[in-house]
Amino acid sequence: MPDFIEPLRRRLMELGCPIAQMRRLVREVADHREDLKQAAASAGLSGADAEARANASLGDPLALAEQLMTALRQSTWWGRHHVVTFGLLPLLVYPILWALFLLFQMALGFALGYGWNWEKLRVVVNNPVAFQHLTTVFQFMDYDAIALVALLFCWLARRAAVSLKWMVTACAVCSAIAVITWGRIEPHSFTLGFSMNGHLHMPWSRGALPLLIAGAAYVLQQRTMRRFQQTAL
């Protein structure tokens, strides 16, 4: 099988095929190739000739890998509409998802830290030192919400088996919007804002975070692929 299956597997890896789907596709091609070999052998061909006919029936493994990846991308809505999903959708849903993730974390923190007791929260708010700690926690939640949105689009890109540029595009859009959206917590008030001058309210590191997430996802993908390739050899 190495004369056909290994080039197929290698090309699927180069195209960024997720490992689970890669294993499934390679297994299906290998099973189909074995069926073709058995059919050719039943027709009276020798082992080498039967294998050659099976390979010829499947065609070039590199071209087959391209076809399989195209079919894989077309199998999901995200893959069929990757321009909308990773170019336009982040622009529309990032502020909503970011706000929802942030509010959920705040509600969870309130429930765990104060047991929904508003009197305990008022005591913290009126204490400058305690409120400073609360502000630090809020900033952490803000960054965490940004990271969660970026991770969501990275996950969608992997699920859709699209090229790396679309994952980077989605994270770049998230990065741009993260710069102009902001949240602020003050004693007895909490506000979310959207402004072209948002960078004046929040540090630029908010905008850098989605790009760092994309870079980390790429490095992790490459390491996983190399590890899989070493075990496959």
Q: Are 116 and 110 in contact (CB under 8 A)?
A: yes
Give residue 188's pLDDT: 82
Whether 11 shows a pLDDT value over 60: the answer reads: yes
- Looking at residue 76, the DSSP 8-state letter turns out to be S
- Each residue's pLDDT tens digit, 36-89: 888 888 887 877 888 888 888 888 889 999 999 999 999 889 999 999 999 999
Q: List C-alpha distances in Å: 183 to 76, 89, 205, 220.
A: 35, 22, 14, 31
Helix (H) or strand (E) holding 186: strand 181-186
- Each residue's pLDDT tens digit, 16-30: 888 888 889 999 999
Whether 141 shows a pLDDT value over 90: the answer reads: yes
Whether 1 shows a pLDDT value over 50: the answer reads: no
Q: Are 201 and 184 in contact (CB under 8 A)?
A: yes
Give residue 184's pLDDT: 87
Whether 212 shows a pLDDT value over 60: the answer reads: yes
Whether 172 shows a pLDDT value over 80: the answer reads: yes
Give residue 91's pLDDT: 92
- Each residue's pLDDT tens digit, 150-171: 999 999 998 888 888 899 999 9
DSSP string, 155-183: HHHHHHT--HHHHHHHHHHHHHHHHHEEE
CB neighbour class for 95 (10 Å; exposed up to 12, middle 13-18, buried from 19):
middle
- pTM of the predicted model as reported, rounded to 2 decimal places: 0.81
Residues counted in the chain: 233
Contacts of 164 (CB under 8 A, 6+ apart): 16, 157, 218
Give residue 98's pLDDT: 94
Average pLDDT value for residue range 98-118: 90
What is the rounded average pLDDT for all residues in the chain? 86
Q: Copy the structure tokens of residue 135.
A: 């502000």
